[in-house]
C-alpha cells in the first residue's frame, strides 16, 4: 500500500501525526495479540479437557447404553442454556454458566428401575456436550480476533509505519533540496547585484 502524499509541509505534518499514532498504538496492539494467543491456548486446553471428560462419561456408562433403547427422549429436554458475556482482551466472548432442563414427570412404579439414575447421567452428558460446544465457539471467536489483531500488527509494522517513514523522508529531502536551491538562487542574485553595483 503506497502512502499518498504531496511535497509540502502540510502533508509532512499529516504524515508525522499518522506515524506517531501508529507507533504509539503498536505496543498496545502487540500486547492484545499476545493476550489473545494465551487465551486461545487456554481455551484449546479447556476443550481438550472437556473432550476427555465427555469420553470418560461415555465409557463409564457404556454398559448402560443398551438400556437407553427403553428410554423415552421426551422425558428430558433442554429448556435453557445459561450464558454470560465476558470481555477477553477487548473481545466479547459468551461464557457457559449452565443448563436448565425440563423434566417430565414419570411413574417410578411403571418405569425401569435404572431410569432415575439414567436421567441424572443424561443430564450430565448433555451439560458437558453443551459446554464443549461453547468452548469450540470460544476458540473460534478468539482465533478470529487473534488473526485480525496479528494482521493489524503486520500492517502497522511492515506496511504503514515504513511507508509513512519513507514518505516523510522523501518530503524532507524535497523540501531541503528546494530550500538549498532557493538559497543558491538568492546567492546568485545577490552576487549579480553586487557585480552591477561595483564601480568600475
pLDDT, one tens digit per residue, over 88-125 is 888 888 888 888 888 888 777 777 677 777 788 888 88
CA distance 172 to 176: 6
Give the per-residue pLDDT at 147: 95
* pLDDT at residue number 68: 65
Residue 18 forms part of a structural domain: yes
Q: What is the mean pLDDT of the chain?
A: 86
Task: Tell me what the mean pLDDT of segment 47-54 comes to.
Answer: 91
- 164-184 average pLDDT score: 90
Residue 72, pLDDT > 80, answer no
Nearest to 114 by CA among 149, 64, 159: 64
Lowest mean pLDDT among 43-52, 64-73, 127-136, 137-146: 64-73
Given this model, what pLDDT does residue 200 score? 53
Q: What are phi and psi of 100, to 5 degrees?
A: -105, 135
**Which domain, by its residues, includes 62?**
9-181
Q: pLDDT tens digits, residue range 6-22?
A: 888 888 899 999 999 99
Per-residue pLDDT band for 161 (boundaries 50, 70, 90) equals very high
Residue 195 counted as domain residue: no
Distance in angstroms (rounded) separating the CA atoms of residues 11 and 181:
21
What is the total count of domains within the chain? 1
The helix (run of H) or strand (run of E) holding residue 87 is: strand 76-88
Q: Is the pLDDT of residue 74 over 90?
A: no
pLDDT tier at 148 (50, 70, 90 boundaries)? very high
CATH number at residue 146: 1.10.287.3240
C-alpha cell at 175: 523540501
Residue 200: inside a domain:
no
The rounded distance, in Å, linking the Cα atoms of 126 and 120 is: 10
In the block, residue with C-alpha cell 462419561: 57
- Considering only residues 116 and 163, tell me which one the structure prediction assigns the higher pLDDT: 163
CA distance 177 to 174: 5
Q: Please compute the mean of the pLDDT values over residues 30-37 and round it to a whole number.
A: 93
How confident is the model at residue 182, as a pLDDT?
A: 86
Query: Does 160 map to a domain?
Result: yes
pLDDT of 28 higher than 60 = yes
44-48 average pLDDT score: 92
56 inside domain: yes
Please indicate, yes or no, if residue 193 is contained in any of the structural domains. no
In a domain, 110, yes or no: yes
Whether residue 192 lies inside any domain: the answer is no
CB-based burial, 88-109: b 16+ in 10 Å, e otherwise: bbebebeebeebeeeeeeeeee
Q: What is the pLDDT of residue 145?
A: 93
Amino acid at each position: 500500500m503506497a502512502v499518498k502524499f504531496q511535497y509540502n509541509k502540510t502533508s509532512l505534518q499529516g504524515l508525522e501525526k499518522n506515524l506517531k499514532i501508529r507507533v504509539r498504538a503498536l505496543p498496545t496492539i502487540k500486547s492484545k495479540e499476545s493476550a489473545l494467543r494465551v487465551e486461545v491456548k487456554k481455551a484449546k486446553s479447556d476443550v481438550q479437557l472437556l473432550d476427555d471428560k465427555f469420553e470418560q462419561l461415555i465409557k463409564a456408562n457404556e454398559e448402560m447404553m443398551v438400556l437407553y433403547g427403553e428410554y423415552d427422549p421426551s422425558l428430558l429436554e433442554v429448556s435453557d442454556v445459561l450464558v454470560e458475556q465476558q470481555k477477553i482482551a477487548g473481545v466479547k466472548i459468551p461464557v457457559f454458566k449452565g443448563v436448565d432442563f425440563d423434566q417430565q414427570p414419570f411413574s417410578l412404579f411403571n418405569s425401569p428401575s435404572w431410569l432415575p439414575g439414567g436421567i441424572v447421567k443424561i443430564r450430565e452428558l448433555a451439560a458437558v456436550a453443551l459446554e464443549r460446544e461453547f468452548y469450540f465457539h470460544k476458540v473460534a471467536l478468539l482465533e478470529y480476533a487473534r488473526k485480525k489483531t496479528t494482521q493489524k500488527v503486520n500492517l502497522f509494522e511492515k506496511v504503514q509505519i515504513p511507508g509513512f517513514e519513507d514518505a516523510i523522508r522523501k518530503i524532507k529531502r524535497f523540501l531541503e533540496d528546494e530550500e538549498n536551491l532557493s538559497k543558491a538562487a538568492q546567492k546568485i542574485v545577490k552576487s549579480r547585484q553586487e557585480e552591477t553595483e561595483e564601480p568600475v
